[in-house]
């Protein structure tokens, strides 16, 4: 149903690795969805989405941001927002230059922090046809359920300490991305073990590492994807989870409201249900595929 090729490209001199999925049956150049993973994520968690899009006649390009997975860059496990946006722009340029992809029919898809990136990049690239933002980041929630004041202060101390180490050119002070209640981690919940299995895969074979440099949170506090959403001229589909604690509905729905051509779809479950619940995942990808096809211009 599709052909998969390993690819690479340069972004500001940094090698980025990815996989290109091409529909098995193609008579001419095909549209392409460029997919972006979330905070601390790796591209292997997006393979299933790429397969679904390719089976529906759309090429799909997944890639690792700099400092993560199979891509280059140091320090490792450090989220660099401007750098990740550059990596996305370079991925779009790679897709537009590919001999089997129609450069005039490029679509963007982003998950969590990647959902913020696709909105921000598309707002400055009117040639992008349409955008899907899945459980997108739009600022930190004012209150994190289950996190005490003391735990919040511990996390803030880790962020500041790692920031100081970065200013001094020292190795990051890493903390876990996912931990149990009471542990110092970005996300500390009773479902920690389940979340880790979600991010690693049931067989544990993954590029993902449960480690992140917390200095990234200071620039994230200043990241305003809502400002870009208000400037977005392309159709935008925002897919949210009713019980999302990481990117809660009260913040994510604003992206659809602000975008002049925004649409909102809400699904049951949590932030991680988009990975773990087969029924939700099937409905979400079905809706997203229909959205892309609805807005694709005819082939040139």
Q: How do the pLDDT tens digits run along the chain, 300 residues long?
A: 789 999 999 999 999 999 999 998 777 899 999 999 999 999 998 999 999 999 999 999 999 999 999 999 999 999 999 999 999 999 999 999 999 999 999 999 999 999 999 999 999 999 999 999 999 999 987 666 656 788 889 999 999 999 999 999 999 999 999 888 888 988 887 777 776 777 776 555 578 899 999 999 999 999 999 999 999 999 999 999 998 888 888 899 999 999 999 999 999 988 888 887 889 999 999 999 999 999 999 887
- Per the confidence metrics, is the pTM higher than 0.85? yes
Task: Please report whether residue 20 resides in a domain.
Answer: yes
Task: Please report whether residue 212 resides in a domain.
Answer: no
Instruction: Specify the number of domains making up the chain.
Output: 1
pLDDT of residue 201: 63
Question: Which domain CATH number covers 105?
Answer: 3.40.50.1820
Contact 95, 34 (CB under 8 A): yes
Task: Please report whether residue 155 resides in a domain.
Answer: no
Task: Please report whether residue 187 resides in a domain.
Answer: no
Q: Residues 204-249: pLDDT tens digits?
A: 557 889 999 999 999 999 999 999 999 999 999 999 999 888 888 8
Compute the C-alpha angle 220/132/80, nearest 5°. 25
Kindly list the distances between the CA atom of residue 234 and the CA atoms of 124, 225, 228, 287, in Å, as whole numbers in the listed order.
11, 15, 12, 17
Task: Please report whether residue 70 resides in a domain.
Answer: yes
Task: Please report whether residue 72 resides in a domain.
Answer: yes
Task: Please report whether residue 230 resides in a domain.
Answer: yes
296 burial (CB, 10 Å; 0-12 / 13-18 / 19+) is middle
Task: Please report whether residue 30 resides in a domain.
Answer: yes
**Alpha-carbon span 11 to 122, nearest angstrom:** 17
| Number of C-beta neighbours around residue 19 at 10 A | 20
Range of the domain at 86: 2-143+223-295
pLDDT of residue 146: 59
**Alpha-carbon span 299 to 104, nearest angstrom:** 8
Q: What percent of the chain has pLDDT over 90?
A: 76
């Amino acid at each position: 149903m599709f052909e998969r090729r390993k690819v690479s490209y340069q972004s500001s001199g940094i090698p980025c690795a990815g996989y290109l999925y091409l529909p098995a049956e193609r008579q001419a150049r095909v549209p392409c969805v460029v997919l972006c993973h979330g905070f601390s994520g790796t591209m292997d968690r997006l393979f299933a989405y790429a397969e679904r899009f390719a089976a529906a006649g759309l090429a799909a390009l997944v890639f690792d941001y700099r400092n993560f997975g199979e891509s280059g860059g140091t320090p490792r496990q450090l989220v660099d927002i401007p750098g990740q946006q550059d990596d996305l722009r370079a991925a779009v340029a790679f897709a537009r230059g590919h001999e089997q992809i129609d450069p005039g029919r490029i679509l963007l898809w982003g998950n969590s922090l990647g959902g913020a990136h696709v909105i921000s990049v598309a707002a400055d690239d009117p040639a992008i046809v349409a955008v899907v933002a899945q459980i997108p980041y739009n600022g930190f929630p004012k209150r994190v359920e289950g996190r005490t004041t003391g735990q919040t202060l511990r996390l803030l101390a880790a962020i500041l300490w790692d920031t100081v180490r970065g200013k001094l050119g020292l190795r990051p002070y890493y903390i876990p991305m996912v931990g149990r209640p009471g542990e110092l981690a970005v996300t500390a919940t009773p479902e920690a073990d389940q979340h880790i299995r979600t991010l690693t895969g049931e067989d544990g074979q993954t590029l993902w590492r449960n480690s992140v440099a917390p200095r990234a949170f200071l620039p994230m506090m200043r990241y305003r994807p809502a400002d870009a959403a208000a400037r977005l001229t392309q159709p935008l589909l925002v897919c949210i989870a009713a019980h999302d604690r990481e990117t809660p509905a009260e913040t994510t729905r604003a992206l659809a409201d602000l975008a002049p051509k925004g649409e909102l779809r809400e699904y049951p479950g949590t932030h991680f249900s988009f990975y773990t619940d087969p029924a939700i995942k099937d409905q979400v990808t079905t809706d997203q595929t229909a959205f892309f096809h609805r807005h694709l211009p005819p082939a040139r």
